[in-house]
């Protein structure tokens, strides 16, 4: 195909059409922006400058000027909720839902936002009712996610299990096993051992590595007086996750004492301490060695452990061991040193969430901050800092 010179005239024509189209779009954008209230742009500016209070004031003014601005209603409701002003957020989203001219997709979004408002306000019944309205709609999965959170907050574990099975990408088998453990723990409080045992069996079928199920199984056996079976259940934790052995160390010690097999218990726990360093485990073994072998053996145990894993919490235990054989003059110095060390160890003796870093003195199966299950390994903060 031969090139014709007249075709060169097409290039400026194409550029001219592009320029005209751009001018039309720019004029349309300018026209739309001029129709928006000035307070709208002021609110955006305050948001960009992280001034949410002044942004809300500007957006409220903009809504008064132009009540049809749906996007502003959504933005304003979200800001109210983030600030904790849930009543105002609820009113804002209820007004949107009641509008007859609102398209269906925006009305569904408003219902979802209203459910979030109720959830933030702690009105779980209303939140549940609101998200149930979204079942079977385009926001079905989002509704299920929120319903799962509501059931967990309300400790409605049977319904949590049911809806978690519909969300395999959201709720893992580990979490579902924890729900069964929650059911089992509730049955144990009511002394309904058969029902509790059934829930624990299902938990282990769901997740064979569920440490909590093995721990509770051991507790069930111990309550029934079957301490050998309890020991077997607790020993399973070593193959599931040995970091959690610290949680059952005292239980194992009590069971071995009841069976008059304290030496066997000491050998088992010393083996655990040698293979799986834990400050909580050290504390239990220390007390057992102190009772069975005396202060000098307990001191030697802590000293050897400190050489392998030097920690301030371990050093505090070493000072405690030294107190037993110390003279009155030396005892005063050790007490002084122990008091100084404890001033530093209080903040090191906390548990820390692997997921969000939240610290607490109490051990939790579910993190109070991020809601993660089994994210609190029973290790103290100092142990985390020393882990390579």
Question: Which segments are annotated as binding site for Fe cation?
Answer: 353, 356, 367, 370
- Give the N- to C-terminal CA distance of the chain in Å, as an integer: 71
- Nearest residue to 59 via CA among 50, 69, 49: 69
Coil, helix or strand for 50? coil
Torsion (CA) 361, 367, 370, 375 in degrees, nearest 10: 110
Which residue, chain included where needed, has tokens 């934790």? 237
Question: Residues comprising the binding site?
Answer: 353, 356, 367, 370
DSSP line for 103-153 = -HHHHHHHHHHHHHHHHHHT-HHHHHHHHHTTTTSTTHHHHHHHHHHHHHH
| Residues whose CB is less than 8 angstroms from the CB of residue 344 and which lie 6 or more positions away in sequence, other chains included | 312
Rounded Cα distance between 215 and 188, Å, is 13
Residue positions counted in the chain: 388
Token pair of 357, please?
A: 């870093």
Angle, CA of 106, 122 and 47, to the nearest 5°: 55
Supply the DSSP symbol for 243: G
Cβ-proximal residues to 175 (8 Å cutoff; 6+ apart), any chain: 164, 373
Q: How far apart are CA 130 and CA 252, in angstroms?
A: 48
């Amino acid at each position: 195909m031969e090139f014709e010179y007249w075709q060169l005239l097409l290039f400026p024509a194409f550029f001219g059409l592009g320029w005209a189209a751009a001018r039309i779009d720019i004029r349309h954008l300018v026209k739309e922006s001029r129709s928006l209230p000035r307070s709208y742009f002021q609110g955006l500016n305050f948001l960009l400058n992280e001034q949410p209070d002044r942004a809300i004031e500007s957006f409220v003014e903009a809504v008064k000027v132009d009540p049809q601005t749906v996007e502003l209603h959504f933005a304003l409701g979200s800001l109210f909720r983030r600030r904790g002003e849930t009543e105002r957020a609820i009113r804002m989203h209820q007004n949107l839902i009641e509008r007859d001219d609102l398209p269906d997709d925006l009305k569904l979004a408003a219902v979802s936002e209203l459910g979030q408002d109720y959830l933030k306000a702690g009105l779980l019944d209303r939140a549940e009712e609101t998200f149930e309205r979204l079942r079977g709609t385009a926001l079905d999965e989002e509704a299920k996610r929120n319903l799962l959170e509501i059931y967990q907050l309300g400790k409605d574990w049977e319904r949590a299990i049911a809806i978690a099975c519909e969300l395999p990408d959201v709720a893992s088998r580990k979490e579902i096993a924890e729900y069964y453990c929650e059911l089992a723990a509730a049955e144990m409080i009511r002394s309904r051992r058969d029902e509790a045992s059934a829930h624990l069996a299902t938990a282990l079928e769901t997740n064979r590595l569920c440490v909590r199920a093995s721990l509770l199984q051991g507790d069930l056996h111990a309550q029934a007086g079957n301490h050998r079976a309890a020991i077997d259940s607790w020993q399973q934790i070593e193959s599931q996750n040995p970091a959690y052995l610290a949680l059952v160390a005292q239980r194992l010690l009590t069971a071995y004492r009841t069976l008059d097999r304290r030496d066997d218990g000491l050998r088992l726990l010393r083996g655990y301490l040698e293979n799986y360093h834990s400050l909580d485990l050290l504390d239990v073994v220390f007390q057992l060695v102190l009772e069975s072998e005396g202060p000098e053996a307990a001191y030697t145990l802590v000293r050897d452990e400190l050489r392998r894993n030097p920690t301030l919490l371990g050093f505090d235990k070493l000072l405690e061991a030294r107190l037993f054989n110390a003279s009155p003059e030396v005892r005063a110095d050790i007490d002084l040193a122990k008091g100084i060390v404890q001033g530093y160890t209080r903040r090191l003796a906390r548990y820390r969430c692997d997921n969000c870093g939240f610290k607490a003195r109490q051990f939790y199966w579910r993190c109070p901050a991020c809601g993660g299950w089994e994210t609190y390994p029973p290790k103290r903060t100092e142990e985390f800092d020393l882990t390579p």
